[in-house]
């Protein structure tokens, strides 16, 4: 492979007057650790991917679909060249929806939908959502021939033209339906041993309400005793069923909620680390830094530097033998 993309940097180029982007990537390239506030959906059409989110690795085969949640550090490896569909959308302006936040919590760090084990009717519905989004975004341009890359005129035209009236709203609507459909069928996608395949207790509706309550008050001084009383259970019974439902303890869940929020706040360069620590509900910046590094592998200052919107990252391209260029 030649070096025409040697200086190419990954950055999210939304359509004019929109907060979304759809493109076809055929580059045989690796993307080092980075994050953004967009959700990212990848659908390999001709070649697989390996995606690392946090401490989890996902081997995304041809036809599989992976949804990477917002503000999650991820790394992408390209074993071979071939077309992959990308959808990147900023949901920060609609993140006030409780159900949307709940869905991202359950999917975090990523939701891997494997074509080989997904029921055909469910898989076809998911593909239909993506195909309809592509049709709206690309219009009459042959989308499967659109290549993402520096200096590619066709991609520039696609990225920087405006959508037709109400197309953006319709795309957001389709994405919301996609996420809701995934949430309703979560049990079909969870892998044994993936860290989120959980047995669902009979109290799942009540516990979902508890999680919603925590998501609305996590910056406050919450305690296990207080939340157990809110749920109407004894402390010890609640601790057991909550751990079964979420896969983590109450305090681990609360801390992760605060870290997730802090990750989003770190996209705002005007906020200091100390400001963010208190806004996210931590007692001190020292406690925040310690918890954040334990949860993400990076101290907050280094994590902020991985935000591709503020610090676009270089892409590692490979030749036919897999060597970096």
Would you say residue 316 lies in a domain?
A: no
Q: What is the pLDDT of residue 281?
A: 94
Mean pLDDT check: name the lowest of 103-112, 127-136, 201-210.
201-210
Q: What is the pLDDT of residue 29?
A: 85
- Looking at the structure, tell me whether residues 145 and 23 fall in a common domain: yes
Highest mean pLDDT among 19-33, 77-91, 123-137, 243-257: 123-137
Q: What is the CATH number of the domain that holds 293?
A: 1.10.10.60
- Looking at the structure, tell me whether residues 269 and 211 fall in a common domain: yes
Cβ neighbour number for residue 7 with a 10 Å cutoff: 10
CA distance 293 to 286: 11
Given pLDDT bands bounded at 50, 70 and 90, which one contains residue 314? low
Q: What is the pLDDT of residue 184?
A: 84
Given pLDDT bands bounded at 50, 70 and 90, which one contains residue 319? low
- Looking at the structure, tell me whether residues 44 and 14 fall in a common domain: yes
- Looking at the structure, tell me whether residues 104 and 235 fall in a common domain: no
Q: What is the CATH number of the domain that holds 76?
A: 2.60.120.280
Would you say residue 315 lies in a domain?
A: no
- Write down which residue in 162, 194, 226 finishes a domain: 194
Would you say residue 317 lies in a domain?
A: no
Q: What is the pLDDT of residue 52?
A: 93
- Looking at the structure, tell me whether residues 13 and 50 fall in a common domain: yes
Q: Is pLDDT above 90 for 312? A: no
Q: Is pLDDT above 60 for 245? A: yes
Determine contact, residues 275/285, Cβ cutoff 8 Å: no
- Looking at the structure, tell me whether residues 189 and 213 fall in a common domain: no
Would you say residue 143 lies in a domain?
A: yes
Would you say residue 42 lies in a domain?
A: yes
- Looking at the structure, tell me whether residues 215 and 187 fall in a common domain: no
Determine contact, residues 57/109, Cβ cutoff 8 Å: no
Q: What is the CA radius of gyration of the chain?
A: 20
Average pLDDT over the chain, rounded to an integer: 81
- Looking at the structure, tell me whether residues 211 and 291 fall in a common domain: yes
- Write down which residue in 168, 194, 220 finishes a domain: 194
Q: What is the largest CA-CA distance in the chain?
A: 65
Would you say residue 175 lies in a domain?
A: yes
Closest CA to 172 of 268, 92, 66: 92
Determine contact, residues 39/323, Cβ cutoff 8 Å: no
Percent of the chain with pLDDT over 90: 41
Residue 41 has phi, psi (to 5 degrees) of -110, 125
b/e map of 233-262 (b: 16 or more CB within 10 Å)?
beeeebbebbeebbebebeebbbbbbbbbb
CA distance 64 to 76: 15
Determine contact, residues 87/21, Cβ cutoff 8 Å: yes
Would you say residue 4 lies in a domain?
A: no
pLDDT in tens, 54-65: 778 999 999 999
- Looking at the structure, tell me whether residues 56 and 132 fall in a common domain: yes
Cβ neighbour number for residue 146 with a 10 Å cutoff: 23
CA distance 292 to 259: 6
Q: What is the pLDDT of residue 55?
A: 75
pLDDT in tens, 10-37: 455 677 777 888 888 888 888 888 888 8
Q: What is the pLDDT of residue 129?
A: 97
Percent of the chain with pLDDT over 70: 78
Q: What is the pLDDT of residue 16?
A: 74
- Looking at the structure, tell me whether residues 139 and 225 fall in a common domain: no
Q: CA-based angle 312:67:206, to the nearest 5?
A: 125
CA distance 269 to 195: 32
Q: Based on the structure, what is the number of domains in the chain?
A: 2
pLDDT in tens, 251-276: 999 998 899 889 888 888 889 999 99
b/e map of 78-117 (b: 16 or more CB within 10 Å)?
beebbbbbebbbbbeeeeeeeebbebbbbbbbbbbbbbee
Given pLDDT bands bounded at 50, 70 and 90, which one contains residue 1? very low
Q: Any alpha helices (H) in 87-166, and if so which ranges?
A: 98-107, 120-138, 153-160
Q: Is pLDDT above 90 for 49? A: yes
Would you say residue 69 lies in a domain?
A: yes
Per the DSSP assignment, residues forming a β-bridge with 51 are 58, 76
- Write down which residue in 146, 171, 194 finishes a domain: 194
**Higher per-residue pLDDT: 211 or 320:** 211
Given pLDDT bands bounded at 50, 70 and 90, which one contains residue 116? very high
- Looking at the structure, tell me whether residues 36 and 124 fall in a common domain: yes
Per the DSSP assignment, residues forming a β-bridge with 59 are 50
pLDDT in tens, 155-200: 555 666 788 889 989 999 999 999 999 988 887 876 433 334 344 4
Given pLDDT bands bounded at 50, 70 and 90, which one contains residue 292? very high
Q: What is the pLDDT of residue 144?
A: 54
- Looking at the structure, tell me whether residues 188 and 70 fall in a common domain: yes
Highest mean pLDDT among 24-33, 137-146, 243-252, 288-297: 288-297
CB-based contacts of 122: which residues, under 8 Å, 6+ apart?
181, 185, 188
Given pLDDT bands bounded at 50, 70 and 90, which one contains residue 282? very high
Average pLDDT of the segment spanning 115-138: 94
Domain of residue 259 covers 204-305
């Amino acid at each position: 492979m030649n070096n025409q993309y040697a200086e190419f940097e990954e950055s999210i180029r939304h359509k004019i007057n929109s907060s979304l982007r759809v493109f076809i990537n055929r580059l045989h390239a690796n993307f080092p650790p980075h994050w953004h506030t967009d959700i990212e959906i990848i659908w390999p059409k001709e070649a697989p991917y390996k995606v690392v989110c946090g401490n989890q690795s996902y081997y995304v085969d041809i036809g599989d679909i992976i949804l990477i949640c917002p503000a999650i550090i991820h790394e992408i490896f390209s074993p071979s060249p071939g077309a992959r569909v990308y959808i990147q959308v900023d949901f920060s302006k609609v993140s006030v929806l409780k159900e949307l936040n709940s869905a991202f919590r359950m999917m975090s760090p990523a939701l891997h939908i494997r074509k080989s084990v997904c029921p055909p009717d469910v898989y076809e519905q998911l593909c239909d959502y993506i195909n309809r989004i592509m049709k709206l975004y690309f219009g009459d341009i042959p989308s499967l021939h659109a290549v993402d890359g520096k200096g590619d005129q066709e991609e520039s035209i696609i990225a920087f033209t405006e959508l037709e009236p109400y197309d953006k709203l319709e795309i957001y609507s389709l994405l919301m339906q996609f996420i809701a459909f995934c949430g309703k069928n979560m049990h079909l996608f969870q892998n044994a041993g993936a860290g989120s395949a959980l047995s669902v207790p009979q109290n799942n509706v009540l516990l979902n309400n508890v999680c919603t309550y925590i998501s609305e008050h996590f910056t406050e001084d919450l305690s296990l005793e207080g939340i157990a009383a809110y749920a109407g259970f004894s402390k010890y019974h609640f601790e057991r069923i909550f751990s079964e439902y979420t896969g983590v303890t109450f305090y681990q869940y609360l801390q992760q909620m605060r870290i997730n929020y802090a990750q989003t706040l770190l996209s705002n360069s005007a906020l200091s680390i100390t400001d963010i620590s208190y806004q996210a509900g931590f007692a001190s910046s020292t406690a925040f830094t310690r918890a954040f590094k334990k949860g993400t592998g990076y101290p907050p200052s280094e994590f902020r530097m991985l935000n591709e919107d503020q610090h676009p990252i270089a892409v590692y391209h490979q030749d036919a033998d897999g060597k970096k260029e």
